[in-house]
Amino acid sequence: MPKLTRRRLLCATAPLAAAPLGVTLAFGREAEAAGHDHAGHGGTATRSTAAAGHAAMIGDGAPAVGGPNDLDALLHPPPALPHRPGRVREYTLVARDEELEIAPGVFFPAWTYNGTVPGPVIRATEDDVLRVRFANAGAHPHTIHFHGIHPTNMDGVFEIVGPGEDFTYEFPARPAGFHVYHCHSTPLKKHIHKGLYGAFIIDPKVPRAPARELVMVMNGYDTDGDGENNFYTVNGRTFYYARYPIRVRRGELVRVYLANLTEFDLINSFHLHADFFRYQPTGTGEHWEYTDTVMQCQGQRGVLEVRFAHAGTFMFHAHQSEFTELGWMGYFQVEEP
């Protein structure tokens, strides 16, 4: 059996190699359907099935797992609260080993915070006291390392939490911005790649303008243990937002908290079709870039803001097209106000 590489997954002529995962066959079927749907492009036999499948991946045609509201808790952050220094914001995170279906028929033996990859969105306002109770119900030692400013004994590096143990992190939330958290046990690349990471919003004293707020954590999964990712997603499942497009309204302010926790690949990226957004790296400072594409290395994150000029269906995806075709693609469904 030839080694199953991600490039082989994309190759229409490698059904044998694709078979162990099952999913590629499903992608292939979508691709065939696309070939029939779009007459006039020439013979389907000579076309790239991956490219044809890409065009067909919307609604029920998208190979995504689950129901329409499954990822709501990861997409929609908790509401921002007004600045009130000293208020305590409490969260409980439990590390659990969970087998997650990340694409149809593809199960990933994940290490999770609270049963999902990524873990829950943690949100505080600057100068809140953040108190995170962490219990390790998994089989390996873990921690939570928060990005931000805090004492080093709250940094999730030196206090390793063994299976069955717990630890409470407590520190004032700062600086304002958009951050991430993740396990910092060694080997680090394994603990991150297995799924122990999430989004961490610290709202500024002067609140951001009201907006429809969304969180997107970009990641990858190495399903065959060769140190290369076989699938890419936002918020944990391949093509989920292609199957269930994110509904927004034309003209309203849409704010996306975008972070990259992809292991193994040097960068990931976000590209929006048919409109431009402004982008604030790390959610800090005065500098906003006006663009339709941003890239992030692992741990980088930023805040995107867009008001769609038109109604309709707007694709977004990694601008590494390989990642796109392995699951990192979705749509905004922009409706008239």
Q: Is the dihedral of CA 270, 256, 332, 62 positive or negative?
A: positive
Q: In angstroms, what is the minimal distance from the CB of 200 to Cu ion?
A: 10
Looking at residue 285, the DSSP 8-state letter turns out to be: S
Token pair of 330 as six digits: 């979705």
Closer residue to Cu ion in complex, CB, 85/163: 163
Window 105 to 164, contacts with Cu ion (CB under 5 A): 142
Question: What is the residue whose two structure tokens read 């940094």?
Answer: 155
Q: What is the DSSP string of 253-281?
A: -EEEEEEE--SSSSEEEEEESSS-EEEEE
Contacts with Cu ion, 22-61, as mask; x by CB under 5 A: ----------------------------------------
Q: How far is the CB of 142 from Cu ion (least distance, A)?
A: 3
Return the residue of 183, 259, 261, 334 that touches Cu ion, per CB under 5 A: 183
Q: Pick between residue 24 and residue 298 the one whose CB is nearest to Cu ion.
A: 298
Kindly tell me which of 142 and 317 has the beta carbon lying closer to Cu ion.
142
Helix (H) or strand (E) holding 296: strand 293-297
> Pick from 299, 300, 305, 320: which binds Cu ion (CB under 5 A)?
299
299 burial level (CB within 10 Å; 0-12, 13-18, 19+): middle
How many whole angstroms separate alpha carbon 164 and alpha carbon 136? 5
Size of the site for Cu ion (CB under 5 A): 6
Candidates 123, 191, 193, 237; binder of Cu ion (CB under 5 A) is 191
Q: Is residue 301 part of the contact set for Cu ion (CB under 5 A)?
A: no
For Cu ion, the binding residue among 24, 116, 136, 185 (CB under 5 A) is 185
Sheet holding 212-221, edge to edge: 231-234, 212-221, 254-260, 301-306, 277-281, 289-291
The residues that touch Cu ion, with contacts defined as CB under 5 A, are 142, 183, 185, 191, 196, 299
